[in-house]
Structure 1
Amino acid sequence: MPQLNPGPWLMILIFAWTVLLVVIPPKILAHTYPNEPTAQNNKAPESQPWNLPWS
């Protein structure tokens, strides 16, 4: 059964993992987002008490 011979498949596995771990991460990390998040105010908004007509 030729599919049990690990010779060619081991090299394919090593090459695939090499591509995944060496080539692809820098491409993903170099991606820039069009809308960078900005810092928001840390000041809490001023709230007004509710005027309830039945109270």
Structure 2
Amino acid sequence: MPQLNPAPWFYILVASWLILTAMVLPKILNYVFPNEPNTQDTIKTKKDSWLWPWH
């Protein structure tokens, strides 16, 4: 069964992953988000109680 011979397919797999990691991933990792997330305060603020009637 020729499909069990890994010689040409393994080379194609390794070559495609090398191309992916060498060319595509650095471009994706250099992407800068337009809005950087802000850190939240660790101090919790007091919430106002609910003053409306329930009926």
TM over 0.5: yes
- The total of aligned residue pairs comes to 53
Root-mean-square deviation over aligned CA pairs: 2.8
Match of 1:27 in 2: 27
Q: Which runs of 5+ in 1 are unaligned?
A: none
5+ residue gaps in structure 2? none
Matches for 1:10-49 after TM superposition, within 5 Å: 10-49=10-49
CA 1:7–1:39 in 2, change beyond 3 Å: closer, same or farther? Answer: closer
Q: TM-score, normalised by structure 2?
A: 0.56
Which amino acid in structure 1 is aligned with residue 47 of structure 2? S
Following the alignment from structure 1 to structure 2, what is the Cα–Cα distance between the partners of residues 6 and 16?
15
Question: Identity percentage over the alignment?
Answer: 43
Max radius of gyration: which structure?
1
Structure 1 position 38, deviation (Å): 0.8
Residues 19 and 48 from structure 1, CA distance in 2 versus in 1: closer, same or farther, beyond 3 angstroms? same
Q: Distance in 2 between matches of 1:46 and 1:38?
A: 21
